Structure 1
Amino acid sequence: MSMRVFVQIADRGSLSAASAALDISRAMTSRYLESLEEWLGVRLLHRTTRKLSLTDAGEQALQRCRDMVELSDEVKANASQAGEVQGRLRVTSSPSFAEAQLTAAVVEFQRLHPKVAVDLVTTDRTVDLVEDRIDLAVRISNRVDEGLVARRLATCHSLLCASPAYVELAGEPKVPSDLKTHQCIVNSTGFEPTYHLKSGGDVIAVDVRASLTANETSVVRAAVLAGAGIAMLPTYYVADDIATGTLCVILPEFTLEPMGVQAVYLSRRHQPHPLRLLIEFLAERFGGSVAPWDRAHGGLGLGKKLLA
């Protein structure tokens, strides 16, 4: 435990942060650190009122301690595979993907492995996996942060959508340039007010007027349903709306850039057995040449071009 405490202190930069991550008191954290320094016979950290820094001996000891912690975790994970899988996982995703797809998948996974507890954290920001103690992040992105590992689970397609009431009031765009005269709702998290529409081999970039922006897909969808305008929305979230006619597809002959549904985690090495099983489960549930939410509505006109 002393080595694990030392690694957490070095990674997080303070005894208080390490205490919170390990769910122990600050006094206990300090005792573990002191016992490790006493056992090694060296001082591992320079401590001031403002910050901590590694001594030369601490620099040399850190990687060895990190290796020992990882080895310990691997031994425990391998031992647990001999019996029923158990443990706790912290998983994060956007609120919209959790609502539409991930929560049901996690519940099904827990039916298969009832002793695996899951802490599902939904947020519209990109979390730091180390700082927030996240085992798995399910992200809609084509980029992977340096130092992280990603496995593609599915493809996320999006469509331009509007409510029938808005189309009746404002008219339906016939060509991409018509979008410039319409009210548009834009997701402000990582998206620019520009739609890149593809037809054949050509891509047309259209700058639109964002009459409303929101930092979460569920809010964008709610605004579109209320008749506020046109928005780019993922099919994983609005497939049923389109199938029932609650929303209609704008410029259906064009496609938008697809994105990856990625399982993002810290390392392939020393991976806890429950985490490995969950990643495999999600890959099987969401995988295939076409995501299940697009497959389900392929016969209704939604995603015919996605299936092609």
Structure 2
Amino acid sequence: MNLQLDDLDLFLRVAALGSLSAVARERNLAVSQVSRALSRLEASCGRQLVQRSTHGLRLTDEGHALRELAPRMVDLRDELQASLGEGGGVAGWVRVSASGALLQGLIAPSLPELQARHPALRLDLFTDDRLADLVRDNLDLAIRTGPPVGEHLLVRRLGWLSRSLYATPAYLAQAGTPDTLDALREHRLIVSNSVPQMNRWALAEGHGEGHFEADGPLRVDSSAGALALVLAGLGVARVLDRVAAPWVARGALQRVPVAALCGVPLAVHAVMRAERLRLPKVRACLDHWANLLAGG
């Protein structure tokens, strides 16, 4: 069996995106090049890996089996190139998972400088408030807030953010402005329906070690969705201060002055498989985001 790892890499993207044309657009290739790579891989394996039909692409049983094993082979290639100093330094794709709030408040604003510094760097971004499966989803990094999780994963603290309660001026004018936890319970709170732990709101320093158990008439599955509901004047939600700042400056949002829930510090961690830290492209992203957080 004579497998070409570049073909294997393209196969993984076909499996993830479900479309040859989508992979071609992502990698700036002709569709015919992606198709030939897939055909070469099938010929090397002696098996059909993908069933093609008018309804799209579907992995065969053999394709699913290869999808489980292939990331390890591609990872080993990348690690070998890094250890030998090959690959031209910081270059290639980095697959990153983050919540919508972190994408908006940290990652997206950082990209112009990051990619200007490393023009050959490419980022594949996935937004989800839940912790992704790094192996199953073939991810290099997950950027997360809160306590780190994962027994067999490497965790690096990048820095700190803070979050507070926000609502629109119109909502507060109509419903009143709460300034205590008891008063807050009478308001329309926007909470998570996908990550129950996110509804246990940590208290600011000096206000005890417990949590405020948030509940309300509106639930949403993402931090980006919560922000949209707040901006629509539908209630009060916890928002990263860095995300809320532009909306506050425009007068669209207002901080809700419940001192126990204002400016609560939140650790930001990068979670990864240990071997990924050896890759220059991964270290470049981590260092850039850590420096950004250190600078406030």
Aligned counterpart, 1:214: 220
Aligned residue identity for 1:273: P
Aligned counterpart, 1:44: none
Q: Structure 1's 286 and 195: CA in aligned 2 closer, same or farther, altered over 3 A? A: closer
Aligned residue identity for 1:245: G
What is the aligned counterpart of 2:128 among 120, 123, 129?
123
Aligned counterpart, 1:299: none
Aligned residue identity for 1:284: N
Q: Structure 1's 167 and 266: CA in aligned 2 closer, same or farther, altered over 3 A? A: same
Aligned counterpart, 1:97: 102
Aligned residue identity for 1:224: V
What is the aligned counterpart of 2:238 among 208, 228, 232?
232
Aligned counterpart, 1:303: none
CA-to-aligned-CA distance 1:82-111 (integer Å, 9 cap, x gap): 845322222222233223331232332111
Q: Structure 1's 104 and 250: CA in aligned 2 closer, same or farther, altered over 3 A? A: closer
Instruction: Tell me how many residue pairs correspond in the alignment.
Output: 254
TM-score (norm 1): 0.67
CA drift at 1:78: 3.4
What is the aligned counterpart of 1:107 among 112, 115, 119?
112
For 1:1-308, what aligned pairs fall within 5 Å after superposition? 20=15, 25=38, 28=41, 31-32=44-45, 72-80=77-85, 83-191=88-196, 193-198=199-204, 200=206, 202-203=208-209, 205-255=211-261, 257-268=264-275, 271-288=278-295, 292=296
SS at match of 2:234: coil
Given that 2:189 and 2:235 are in contact with CA atoms closer than 8 Å, whether structure 1 keeps it comes out as: yes
Taking the aligned partners of 1:203 and 1:161, their CA distance within structure 2 comes to: 22
Given that 1:162 and 1:250 are in contact with CA atoms closer than 8 Å, whether structure 2 keeps it comes out as: yes
CA drift at 1:154: 2.0
Taking the aligned partners of 1:134 and 1:92, their CA distance within structure 2 comes to: 7
Give ranges in structure 1 of 5+ residues lacking alignment: 9-15, 35-47, 53-61, 293-308
Q: Structure 1's 176 and 4: CA in aligned 2 closer, same or farther, altered over 3 A? A: farther
CA drift at 1:238: 0.6
Aligned residue identity for 2:255: V
Identity of aligned residues (%): 29
Aligned residue identity for 1:105: S
CA drift at 1:241: 2.2
Aligned residue identity for 1:282: W
Aligned counterpart, 1:45: none
Superposition RMSD in Å: 3.7
Given that 1:196 and 1:204 are in contact with CA atoms closer than 8 Å, whether structure 2 keeps it comes out as: yes
Q: Which is higher, the Rg of structure 1 or of structure 2? A: 1
Q: Structure 1's 85 and 167: CA in aligned 2 closer, same or farther, altered over 3 A? A: closer
